[in-house]
Structure formats: structure tokens, C-alpha cells
């Protein structure tokens, strides 16, 4: 007979939680989406959404790579999480650093939305049509490097701000086009403005792009139980592989790096890109790996990149 003393105590589901998030329209949409998923599974649950201003929200006149901080859009939210002022943090997963503060974990993601980048233009139907000396506005070194590698005479302008302000600048400054995450436009019902979806097989997305990342305290088993019904196993496997690749190369928003994983049968197919900002040096490669160990897939692909000269590119960026 098994003693009651040896039985593992099941975590109690909380009856009220507080979700911390940035104040931007996209961040609020994502938090309300998580709220809706949770209420669909736990009808008695009470949820409060707590908007928090981050460093990245305050500093809007400096390109992100020049700030050089991996926690620009997460640090203040994580501080509230560690203090217990909020129970969950909801992020765009691509903003969540791969190295988290002690005591916090990436708890998972619901099903990933569109991971592709989107080209928006009022002048051209495709990115390939841009003329010599055309101007693309983007704040992403990853996007700049991939474009420069195939169209080295394109000029770039930095682009910061929320979705609406970026779209407004397209017209105000007469850019030939801007690049944004397709999922952001789709979530805010602006997908009709997309001129071209860029194929992820050739234009590698940011790590975690299109996925919503949920962060919790590591010791909150009750929240893991609460979240379990809304999480998507394949999305989490793919994002774990992508994040392991970036973590091994010590990348972040200041590195022209991308990774994109998909599941095929029992394997993860992981593709990645690393380049210099001017596109003069690039590395592209991919691998197929058993999905039972997504972190190992990311680490193995990173080792391939290191063997192909990734360290030289990374050192040149310092």
C-alpha cells in the first residue's frame, strides 16, 4: 500500500492572476489573447492585465542595436515578476532574451502565428523590384544584412516606434518600403497593407518571431498547471531550438542573426542566418535533428556556424 505521505501534492490552480505586459497596442493585444485562451479553459479565473513601461518604450530616438541591451523590452516586467507583483509576463518571444534572470523561466507559447517578415510599399509590388539606391526603413540588423547580401546598393533608414507610427513614417518620409513582422500586422488587423510576404526559407525570421512567450517564476507549479491547456508543443519545440542556437552564439537584437524551425514527422528542421550588417559576409545553413532534443539541435547548428567562421563575424560586431 502506498502511504499518503509519499503522494505528490498536486498544485492548486490559482483563482486570480495578474498578467504583466508592455503598453503598446500589440503587447496589449497579445495579453488579451492569452487572457481569452485562459478563460476558455478556466471559466472561473479572474485576470488583471498590468501595463508596464520598459526601457525600450522610453528610449525611442536611438536605434536598438546602438543601445545594445538584451532586456530592453523585458527588464522592468521581469522585476515585477520577481517581486510577485505580477504572476505572468507576456512578451513577443523575439524580445525575450535567451538568458533569463535567476528564478524566471520561459514557460511556453500557444500556437505560433505567421513567422514571416512582411514587405510594405506603396511604390513596388515586390522587394526584388527596388531600384538601385532605393531606401528601406527597418531597425533590424538581421533584415538589413539579408537585404544587403542580395541588393548591396540599397540604402537603409532606421525605423522605431509602434506599428501605426512605423506605417505612418512610410508615407511621411517617402521610403521605398519598410519591413515588419507579418504576425504583428495580422494581429492588429493591418494585414491588408502587406505588399509581399518574404519566404522564411530564404529570408530567415528572427528567433521566436510570430510566437507569444510566457514567462513565470520557476517555482510556480500552479501556473504551469494553469497554462498547460493553452500551450502548443510543436511551437515550444521549435522556439527552444531557435533560442538554443541564438544562446550558443550569444546573439540578441544587436546581432544580424535569424533562425527558423519547423516540425516534420519526428524531426526538427532548423535553418539559420548570420551576417555582417552590410551583407558582405554571411553564413546560411540548416540541419534535420530528432525533435526529442530541440536544444541540442540549436547547439549543433551553432557549432556548424562557428566552424564556418561565425566567431569572426561576431567579433567584428563588438
Residue positions annotated with a catalytic role: 95
CB-based burial, 117-126: b 16+ in 10 Å, e otherwise: bbbbbeebee
Instruction: List the grid coordinates of 122.
Output: 506603396
Instruction: List the grid coordinates of 148.
Output: 544587403
The neighbour count for residue 62, using CB atoms within 10 Å, is 13
Question: Cα angle at 124 between 121 and 127, to 5 degrees?
Answer: 85
Cβ 92 vs Cβ 30: under 8 Å: yes
Burial class (CB in 10 A: 0-12, 13-18, 19+), 96: buried
Amino acid at each position: 500500500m502506498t502511504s499518503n505521505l509519499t503522494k505528490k501534492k498536486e498544485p492548486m490552480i490559482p483563482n486570480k492572476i495578474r498578467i504583466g505586459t508592455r503598453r503598446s497596442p500589440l503587447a496589449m493585444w497579445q495579453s488579451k489573447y492569452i487572457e481569452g485562451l485562459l478563460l476558455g479553459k478556466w471559466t472561473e479565473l479572474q485576470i488583471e492585465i498590468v501595463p508596464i513601461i520598459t526601457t525600450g518604450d522610453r528610449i525611442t530616438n536611438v536605434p536598438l542595436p546602438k543601445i545594445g541591451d538584451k532586456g530592453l523590452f523585458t527588464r522592468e516586467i521581469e522585476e515585477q515578476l520577481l517581486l510577485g507583483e505580477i504572476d505572468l509576463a507576456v512578451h513577443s518571444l523575439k524580445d525575450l532574451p535567451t538568458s533569463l534572470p535567476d528564478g524566471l523561466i520561459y514557460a511556453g507559447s500557444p500556437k505560433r502565428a505567421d513567422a514571416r517578415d512582411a514587405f510594405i510599399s506603396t511604390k513596388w509590388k515586390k522587394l526584388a523590384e527596388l531600384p538601385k539606391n532605393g531606401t528601406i526603413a527597418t531597425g533590424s540588423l538581421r533584415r538589413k544584412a539579408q537585404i544587403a547580401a542580395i541588393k548591396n546598393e540599397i540604402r537603409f533608414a532606421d525605423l522605431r516606434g509602434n506599428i501605426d507610427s512605423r506605417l505612418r513614417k512610410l508615407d511621411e518620409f517617402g521610403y521605398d518600403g519598410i519591413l515588419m513582422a507579418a504576425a504583428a500586422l495580422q494581429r492588429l488587423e493591418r494585414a491588408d497593407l502587406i505588399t509581399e510576404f518574404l519566404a522564411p526559407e530564404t529570408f530567415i525570421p528572427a528567433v521566436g518571431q510570430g510566437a507569444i512567450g510566457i514567462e513565470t517564476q520557476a517555482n510556480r507549479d500552479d501556473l504551469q498547471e494553469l497554462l498547460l491547456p493553452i500551450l502548443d508543443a510543436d511551437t515550444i519545440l521549435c522556439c527552444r531550438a531557435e533560442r538554443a542556437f541564438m544562446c550558443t552564439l550569444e546573439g540578441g537584437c544587436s546581432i544580424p542573426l535569424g533562425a527558423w524551425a519547423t516540425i516534420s514527422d519526428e524531426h526538427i528542421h532548423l535553418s539559420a542566418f548570420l551576417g555582417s550588417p552590410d551583407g558582405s559576409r554571411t553564413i546560411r545553413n540548416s540541419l534535420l535533428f530528432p525533435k526529442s532534443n530541440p536544444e541540442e539541435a540549436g547547439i549543433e547548428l551553432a557549432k556548424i556556424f562557428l566552424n564556418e567562421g561565425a566567431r569572426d563575424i561576431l567579433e567584428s560586431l563588438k
